[in-house]
Structure 1
């Protein structure tokens, strides 16, 4: 008797959703031709096979790179229909809010062809200060002392009460505040930037920075923003306001610029790092074909390794709170040198959240400065970085005066799940959340698929079907 093998290795089983009807379906994770795929079957729309990783070994490593889940102080919704229909956060979620997004305005001064929030100049809607304060209070109730709150939109800097909102956020026990912006007002209004500087330290600009090329910016943003970006960086450098460059990546469009953007960021006084975000298939998507334009985290990681003189494979590691969707690499800028730091870390200690043992290969002066960074001899107020504080996707750092946040440079890959590669097992680990106006705290991934605006009407119809199917 002869046997016939399947052309793939069945690695594990999970649940996903059909990208057409958004209903939950069973899904196999399979390894085929040195790639990892999600193979799912919908009884109405048939089989769907989606590439989720081009690096089998890294994918497997992510399964080992986890730590115990950190819970919020309270849960906001009950378990009733199952994930992802009970957001949030429901008691079945496995991670608190590392970063919580508060959207204060739907209006924007751009109409980008790619926008998960579907913002535009025509949407002349914003939330009142009182509404925003209720949303901030919801975050504090859940987190006690939230790690990071990101003020977003739309374009938050055009909100008529923008600085009142910043003051309200600063009055709460939020450890770090971020502003998600396209940079237009920062570029055009120096006095606005000067006023922003009054809220530092503890404030960071999350600056849209997709490309150096006119045609690419036209395709992603609908405008040539090269001069805007340059002027915005000039103003942020002038006042040394901590900044992260945020790159929305489309396959074959701007992924060849990854190394160039990292090198540019390293040369800017105010820039503390670069975050690369592959496009999430949600919101407004013009000229986007998910079959050809999607980038996996592993592809972005390999591009960083191939294009950057700074980071090697051992430098770009999974983030333990959500290893499937977050990867990170850290470096120190000391004098005229940039020193990759992640490779010196013991992953076992990272998972335990303890301090790290570093293998030093640099000269004695650099060795002493890095040692000072990790010294435990400082007071709690000026303590050096613990590994748990440093190696995170979020800019929470406490360092001695001789080495401060200006010396830290991080590269992050932040991939958000969409209907194509959605994995219930993974989304339960999501740590980037959005505050719903009614106070629910919802994972970014599911918010843009099920809970944003009118999308919740469709979700409610699905829930009604689930109710009708119950005995």
Structure 2
């Protein structure tokens, strides 16, 4: 009798050698309820790497893939092939749902975990250079980008950060975000006051990570609890929309997922939490391959630790890049919430991707649903689309007045690294880093191959 393989063969992709970062073929297999890459580098031999701890959800994610939305124009030609022609090249499948504009390489924290490799005393981009990058994003997105996030380094350390934010707000950008470690917010009351004048259409992406000193010391090199507490209090006093951002590592902060969600719901200005698996790029705390927390691990932790708030049906793949991004929505009422994503029947979810047969009888439902299930949905548009969706669903009563402060969103966003890299996924990447020469490079490949930190 033939001997069966111990795994189920699912297909092939191109991945990376975890030692030399060479692009190599990988067999994709399912075994013991998990999904693995089996690969072999001519120089470094065979490698076996788990890419999902939940085979069923990995399969489900593939049902959500939708046709890509193209940028207004491409910036490079196909020459060497992905991932070496980034810019975006015509081989890329997605426009910039979220564009990052890095205004500085300087940061006062010098964290052990930093894919940008920022540190104190590094250089800032000039205001003119930043404005040119903003204009490049606008052109790339056909005149109206969805989300632009001002990042770094620590952008709040830039001496002209307020001018930069006002320049972004002066352009036809639907939603502007400031990515910050919170230090200046905690120490400078006038800074929070100035940021409050930028809304609506403005949000703070606040580095959070953990509520425990030990985890913060591993990830950030210091106990930053008082800094984070002060920053969040300042944002809440001014009613500035805020998303808490948590880099996740197994054995470090994986037991805090539920506590972080509860903490977020207890603060009125918080609109949600973004959980990001630690990307092994740039500076890394050296936790090793076994400390990787996969998106499927985070999804399971949310289900197990959120006290019944979010169930499996509430955490769904994002159609533009479903294997890398998971999303869930809830309606806030005080410090409690009711998950709503799971209220959408699964057949409606799947029929929206990519055709609309089931939606013909419910005008507006597909458009609202697909707008919500997009990385580019933010700010008041989230509340508008949520209201439209709830009104369209039979048997569900939408609140009479639904504004952004009543919406709570969880996201799991993976940036690919030497372990998780998959050529198919990187072609669907929709978070891009703007460059001074007008190029837009996916953050996954930028951190692995293209980051030079050359404006000291």
TM-score, structure 1 as length reference: 0.88
Retained in 2: the 8 A contact 1:354–1:387? no
Retained in 2: the 8 A contact 1:330–1:391? no
2:247 aligned with 1:264: no
Superposed, 1:142-161 pairs within 5 Å as 142-143=140-141, 144-161=143-160
Deviations 1:377-398 (A, max 9, x none): xxxxxx9x92223233342543
C-alpha separation between the residues in 1 aligned to 2:355 and 2:235? Answer: 33
2:106 aligned with 1:107: yes
Structure 2, unpaired ranges of 5+: 388-399
C-alpha separation between the residues in 1 aligned to 2:259 and 2:149? Answer: 27
Retained in 1: the 8 A contact 2:105–2:453? no
Per the alignment, residue 463 of structure 1 pairs with none
C-alpha separation between the residues in 1 aligned to 2:438 and 2:160? Answer: 21
Secondary structure of the residue aligned to 1:173 is: coil
C-alpha separation between the residues in 2 aligned to 1:258 and 1:155? Answer: 25
Retained in 1: the 8 A contact 2:331–2:407? yes
Per the alignment, residue 388 of structure 1 pairs with 370
Per the alignment, residue 443 of structure 1 pairs with 442
CA shift at 1:320, angstroms? Answer: 0.3
CA shift at 1:87, angstroms? Answer: 0.1
C-alpha separation between the residues in 2 aligned to 1:411 and 1:263? Answer: 12
C-alpha separation between the residues in 2 aligned to 1:206 and 1:336? Answer: 20
CA shift at 1:355, angstroms? Answer: 12
Superposed, 1:7-406 pairs within 5 Å as 7-123=6-122, 125-143=123-141, 144-290=143-289, 292-309=290-307, 310-334=309-333, 338-345=337-344, 346-348=348-350, 350-352=352-354, 386-393=368-375, 394-398=377-381, 399=384, 402-406=401-405
Deviations 1:121-148 (A, max 9, x none): 132x000001001111111111021110
CA shift at 1:315, angstroms? Answer: 0.5
Secondary structure of the residue aligned to 1:386 is: helix
CA shift at 1:164, angstroms? Answer: 0.9
C-alpha separation between the residues in 2 aligned to 1:317 and 1:17? Answer: 27
Deviations 1:93-123 (A, max 9, x none): 0010000000000000101000000101132
Deviations 1:190-226 (A, max 9, x none): 1110110100001110000111111111111111111
Deviations 1:319-355 (A, max 9, x none): 0000010001100114675211101123135435979
C-alpha separation between the residues in 2 aligned to 1:335 and 1:396? Answer: 19
C-alpha separation between the residues in 1 aligned to 2:271 and 2:453? Answer: 37
Per the alignment, residue 411 of structure 1 pairs with 410
CA shift at 1:286, angstroms? Answer: 2.3
Retained in 1: the 8 A contact 2:266–2:335? no
C-alpha separation between the residues in 2 aligned to 1:287 and 1:422? Answer: 19
CA RMSD across the alignment: 2.1
Retained in 2: the 8 A contact 1:66–1:321? yes
Secondary structure of the residue aligned to 1:272 is: strand
Per the alignment, residue 460 of structure 1 pairs with none
Retained in 1: the 8 A contact 2:101–2:433? yes
Retained in 2: the 8 A contact 1:274–1:411? yes
C-alpha separation between the residues in 2 aligned to 1:283 and 1:67? Answer: 31
CA shift at 1:375, angstroms? Answer: 10
- Cα distance change, pair 268–7 in 1 and its aligned pair in 2 (3 A): same
Secondary structure of the residue aligned to 2:330 is: strand
Retained in 1: the 8 A contact 2:33–2:56? no
Deviations 1:284-319 (A, max 9, x none): 0123212x1111110110000000021001100100
- Cα distance change, pair 265–335 in 1 and its aligned pair in 2 (3 A): closer
C-alpha separation between the residues in 1 aligned to 2:209 and 2:453? Answer: 29
C-alpha separation between the residues in 1 aligned to 2:272 and 2:371? Answer: 16
Per the alignment, residue 433 of structure 1 pairs with 432
Secondary structure of the residue aligned to 1:70 is: coil
> Which stretch shifts more, 94-103 or 401-410?
401-410
Structure 1, unpaired ranges of 5+: 358-373, 377-382, 456-471
- Cα distance change, pair 446–150 in 1 and its aligned pair in 2 (3 A): same
